[in-house]
Amino acid sequence: MRHAKKKSRKKYLWLISLVIAAICFFVWKNNFNSNRMPSNYHADQVDLNVKAAVAINAKDGSTIYAKNANQSLPIASMTKLLTVYLTLQAIKEKKISWDTTVTPTQEIVDLGSNPDYASVPLRLGQKYTVRELYDAALIKSANNAARLLAIAVSGSKTNFLNQMRQQARKWKLNNAKFVTVDGLPEKKTNFLGMTTTVENKMSANDMAIVARKLITNYPEILNTTKLARAYFQNTLMTNSNKMLNGLSYYDSTFPVDGLKTGTTDGAGSCFTCTVNKNGKRVITVILGAENDNERFVETKKLLSYCFN
């Protein structure tokens, strides 16, 4: 009888140990991602009205500030930073060149006629260079340009999506989920006939890693992301990053030279920003601001904290 009681006690101790281990893992997972970046760090130092945010030192990747930074959230058009990274990688590997041309499909042409989506005018049967599409994707946030870039790089959207997922796994971005190459939401119908909207998701930390990889490996991207305006053939494009020199939220205190905004109903207003000041480059990410202007106001608060 005593032997049975001892066995029962050992069993309960084992179960308790298992529960404690599970709780410890859960706490660890929610406070650190696989890149050992904290979910919250000095979060009480800046009162940001956003769902999640992070600021890192671009040189070494160290965290300056983090708020819910490991929470997976919709990222909208900031997806295009990874699209562009894979494009630059393909150019570096000589799989394509800046002068490589590609012709849009009917679907991509039709996308450009939707007034709800950022786009540039693309015509069926006309060829466009990778350079033109790259500029349009970054400056205008043109969704049709991003889709055409994907075809230029990988032959199809499906192949490119697989490439995006592989790159995310390589960088250990465990909060990343991709359903489109441009960041637009996609409608899915389940077996019950119910339609739901799905979006690309990443954490603020994940997004900061992508931005840092871009700036480190392909610093030439800043020559494009710093442009407030540029032409796509005869169409004037105005950058949606209003913190650039010449646009409404520019502040000479923080000489912003990139990178990318993003907006959908599900994502709210998002912004990945970078500033090089006094020899220190900082990358900030804002997810889920209340509106497009608010994301710049909140970014400025974060930059003030980073540089003061």
Rounded CA Rg of the chain:
22
Q: Which residue has the tokens 């969704």?
A: 143
**Is 29 a residue of the active site?**
no
Helices 204-217, 80-92: axis angle to 10 degrees equals 30
3-state secondary structure of 103: coil
Separation of CA 259 from chain center: 10
Among 39, 51, 77, 201, the active-site one is 77
The size of the chain, in residues, is 308
157 is catalytic: no
Catalytic one among 67, 119, 140, 141? 141
Say if residue 260 carries a ligand binding annotation. Answer: yes
Task: Dig out the tokens for 288 from the structure.
Answer: 């889920």
Cα(221)–Cα(10) distance, integer angstroms: 60
Say whether 77 is catalytic: yes
Task: Determine the Cα–Cα distance for residues 122 and 119; give it in Å rounded to an integer.
Answer: 9
Q: What are phi and psi of 237, to 5 degrees?
A: -105, 135
Catalytic residue among 51, 67, 80, 140: 80
Which parts are annotated binding residues for substrate? 260
Name the residues annotated as catalytic. 77, 80, 141
Which parts are annotated binding residues? 260
